[in-house]
């Protein structure tokens, strides 16, 4: 019950972030926005795990989207020196996905050339007409949010979201698209500070 309440709180906390992402999105690529809690540093943590169930799961069933997101995120976090554990992790990860259908109208101008009998007897006359119509465009805007939670304090310490237009091609290559979105989001994740002279 506590986990369910926590998930609802997280969804509400990220809703404004996702909304900003939807407004800022463009066809040039996903827009990424993040928010970091004061004093958060990944160096203060050693392990991570995933919230159970994830917001992207289908009830008690793990969705394919969740599996792909977990694989992609695990690659990113282990690359930062964190270890994936099944119990008692320092950090918990959750995902939020949403989509929104939008309809927009934009002016579409055009010129038409009409042929008819002119004033020169049987010779034809040409007339050029200009008109402006409204073109209706329907598109899908999608957002992916990643939450990083301090498990012991039960506090959100970092959140990131990527948003952009969803095309038919992206739907057909869902795995690749999700992996790319995760990578884009983690480009904004606070990186550990390298200590001079430290051995990798």
* Phi, psi angles (nearest 5°) of residue 57: -75, 165
> Based on the domain organization, do 20 and 96 belong to the same domain?
yes
> Based on the domain organization, do 89 and 112 belong to the same domain?
no
pLDDT at 7: 45
- From edge to edge, which strands make up the β-sheet containing 91-117? 31-36, 155-166, 124-150, 91-117, 47-50, 83-84
Specify if 192 maps to a domain: no
**Beta partners for residue 148, in sequence order:** 93, 158
> Based on the domain organization, do 66 and 7 belong to the same domain?
yes
Q: In this structure, what token pair is assigned to residue 181?
A: 């979105």
pLDDT at 114: 46
Residues 6+ apart with CB under 8 A from 58: none
pLDDT at 135: 66
What is the Cα–Cα distance from 39 to 73, expressed in whole angstroms? 22
Whether pTM > 0.75 for this model: the answer is: no
Specify if 47 maps to a domain: yes
> Based on the domain organization, do 69 and 91 belong to the same domain?
yes
> Based on the domain organization, do 128 and 147 belong to the same domain?
no
What is the Cα–Cα distance from 171 to 32, expressed in whole angstroms? 20
Per-residue pLDDT tens for 68-123?
999 999 999 999 999 999 999 999 999 999 877 776 666 655 544 444 444 434 44
Residue 3 has pLDDT above 70, yes or no: no
Range of the domain at 71: 2-101+141-186
> Based on the domain organization, do 85 and 35 belong to the same domain?
yes
DSSP state of 194: P
């Amino acid at each position: 019950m506590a986990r369910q309440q926590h998930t609802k709180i997280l969804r509400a906390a990220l809703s404004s972030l996702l909304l900003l992402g939807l407004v800022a999105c463009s066809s040039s690529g996903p827009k990424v926005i993040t928010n970091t809690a004061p004093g958060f540093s990944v160096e203060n943590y050693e392990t991570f795990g995933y919230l159970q169930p994830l917001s992207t799961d289908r009830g008690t069933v793990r969705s394919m989207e969740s599996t792909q997101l977990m694989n992609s995120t695990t690659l990113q976090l282990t690359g930062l020196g964190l270890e994936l554990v099944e119990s008692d992790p320092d950090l918990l990860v959750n995902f939020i996905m949403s989509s929104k259908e939008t309809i927009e109208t934009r002016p579409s101008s055009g010129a038409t050339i009409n042929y008819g009998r002119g004033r020169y007897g049987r010779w034809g006359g040409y007339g050029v007409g200009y008109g402006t119509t409204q073109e209706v465009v329907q598109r899908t805007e999608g957002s992916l949010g990643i939450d990083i939670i301090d498990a012991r304090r039960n506090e959100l310490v970092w959140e990131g979201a990527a948003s952009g237009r969803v095309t038919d091609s992206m739907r057909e290559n869902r795995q690749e698209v999700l992996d790319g979105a995760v990578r884009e989001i983690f480009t904004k994740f606070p990186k550990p500070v390298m200590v001079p002279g430290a051995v990798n």
